[in-house]
Every structure is written in structure tokens, then in C-alpha cells.
Amino acid sequence: MSELYPLRRSEAVARWREFLPQVPAYAAARNAVRREHAAVSRLSGAIRFGVLTPEELVGEAVRAHGFGRVEKWVQELCWRDYWQSWLRQRPGVWREWRRRVRELETVGDGGMLARAEAVASGRSGVAVMDGFARELRETGYLHNHARMWWAAFWVHCERLPWELGAAFFFPAAA
């Protein structure tokens, strides 16, 4: 991980301090898909692994700017927390997904698996989607909208199993 996607507390706090002044502008700029992702915090990994907590980030943002100016950013952190809690309360969903990925990888159709590997490697033949796949592989990060577009491409255009696409986004868990 680079310093842009920190997992150590000192680096994550430094990244947060750098982003904190930009939080009020988050709502207006968050949907722009740009490789440098200046409008997003890039703290997903730090939050996921408990290096920073949503509570501390929300508290600091509200103290610094007032709730009205950071409301959209706070909402996004709350949704993230909600869905993580939802999944923790339903461990069978997680287990079934992992089981299905293993099944597809071991007994899945060879042609489908080869196509899935090509698309995940950035060799689908669709330039924008290939760029997204390469960016995720190279940086470990992909903007939320780019992830949604890529997932829709994977399922609806390529007609590949969603479970393998999800495994591409979260390889350590598959």
C-alpha cells in the first residue's frame, strides 16, 4: 500500500488530516471518477482494519465544519457501517459466497474462467473497463462509481458470475 492508502495509524491520521479540510466539498465532487481521486478520503483500508474508526472521523469532521457542511460524507460512513454490520449478522451470506467462488474456480467452465481472468486482468477489449481493472490491480483502489460500472459490465455485458467479480474486488477473502 502506498501512503495514499495507509494502513498504519500514523499514516492514516496524516492522510485524514490532509483530507479533513476537503470534507465540505465531498458532496459536490465525490462522483467524479478520476484516477487520483482527490475528492475521496482513500481511507477505506484504514477504516476496514480498525486503524481509524468512523466515530472518530465523523466527530472530527462535525467539530471542524459543522454537521450541515459534512452531512453527505457522514451519510456515506454510516451506510458503510450499516452494510458491514448487516453482513456480520449474516455469516451464512459470507460463507456461501466463499463456497461458490471455490466451486466456480474448481469445477467452473474453462472458457468462462479464462474470460473472467482476461476481464479481471484488463484484457476485455473495452478500454474504459480495462483501465478500471488495471487501476484496481495496480493501486488496490477503485472509485465507487467505477466499481459499480465495472461490476455491471462484468455481470450484464460479459455475463460472468457475480461471485467471481466480487472475488476480484476482495481477493483475500475469496
Three-state DSSP state, 158: coil
Residue 65 neighbours by CB under 8 Å, 6+ apart: 23, 24
Question: Residue 167 and residue 152: Cα distance in Å, rounded?
Answer: 15
Kindly state the greatest CA–CA separation across the chain.
Answer: 55
Give me the pLDDT at residue 131, please.
Answer: 96
Closest of 30, 4, 16, 29 to residue 138, by C-alpha: 4
Q: How far apart are CA 138 and CA 109, in angstroms?
A: 28
**Tens digits of residue pLDDT in 47-69:** 988 999 999 999 999 999 999 99
- pLDDT > 50? residue 134: yes
**Beta carbons within 8 Å of 156's beta carbon, 6+ residues apart:** none
- Residue 157's pLDDT is what? 98
Q: How confident is the model at residue 1 (pLDDT cuts 50, 70, 90)?
A: very low
The pLDDT value given to residue 113? 97
Q: What is the pLDDT of residue 44?
A: 85
pTM for this entry? 0.82
* 173 band by pLDDT with thresholds 50, 70 and 90: low
pLDDT at 2 over 90: no
